[in-house]
Amino acid sequence: MTNQFKSMRVILALAFLINSTAAHSSFYREEETVKVIEVIDGNTLKVKTEAKDIFVIVLRGVDAPEVGQNYGNISKVAVEKRVLGKKVHLLSFGKDRFGNTLGEVRLKDGTWLHEELLQQGLAWKSIDNNNSKHIQYELESREKKIGLWSDTNPTPPWIFKRHKTLTTAKSS
């Protein structure tokens, strides 16, 4: 192999590495401190950054009952008690289809908010969440029949929203 060919392989490998790092950094942002200024529902928060930017966070990996659904208000109030008006640490993981930031919120005591919701039976793990710890937390709260699992057959929020959409009269 010629030195020129070896040099070209090294350059291509470095270009690939730089490109893949850049792609990853646009998906994952370093942890930042934000202040929770509103709790919209059990898994949706409005936050303000230190630079005064305001945006909506949807907790990644969980889906809490909707406000107006059984346990929806209970989940919202529990989250308000934990984070409203407080500074929290946010890990961002891109945007959802509505432009909201997908994120994980860590409290000052080190607790991850989405994991606490699963442990207290105040949220389902998301359908696409295959994290074994999250699966275990949901199973444990189901077995203990705590929170929404005290109902014999709780309706997941994705079913509740679909049913609500189908039963809402269309305006012309």
Q: What is the pLDDT of residues 78-110, one digit of tens each?
A: 999 999 999 999 999 999 999 999 999 999 999
pLDDT at 31: 82
10 Å Cβ neighbour count for 34? 25
For the record, the structure tokens of 49 come out as 């950054």
- 62-71, 112-121, 152-161, 162-171: segment of lowest average pLDDT: 162-171
* Under 8 Å between Cβ of 102 and 41: no
pLDDT of the residue at 164: 77
Give Cβ neighbours of residue 159 (< 8 Å, ≥ 6 apart).
none
Identify which of 53, 62, 12, 63 has the alpha carbon closest to the alpha carbon of residue 29: 53
Choice among 26-40, 69-83, 119-133, 153-167 with the minimum mean pLDDT: 26-40
Residues 6 or more apart whose Cβ sits within 8 Å of residue 56: 40, 44, 45, 46, 47, 100, 101
Any idea what the Cα angle at residue 155 is, between residues 157 and 123, rounded to 5°? 55
Domains of the chain listed by start with CATH number: 28-167 (2.40.50.90)
For position 19, what pLDDT does the model report? 44
Residue pair 107/113 in contact by the 8 Å Cβ criterion: yes
**122 secondary structure, DSSP code:** S
Whole-angstrom Cα distance, residue 163 to residue 53?
Answer: 35
Mind listing the pLDDT tens digit for each residue in 109-161? 999 999 999 999 999 999 999 999 999 999 999 999 999 999 989 999 989 88
pLDDT value at position 169? 62
With cut-offs at 50, 70 and 90, classify the pLDDT of residue 5.
low
> Which run of H or of E encompasses 113?
helix 113-119
Q: What is the mean pLDDT of the chain?
A: 86
Residue 92 and residue 36 in contact, taking contact as beta carbons nearer than 8 Å: no
> Predicted confidence band at 166 (pLDDT cuts at 50, 70, 90)?
confident
Question: Which residues lie closer than 8 Å to 79 by C-beta, 6 or more apart?
Answer: 39, 42, 43, 45, 64, 113, 117, 122
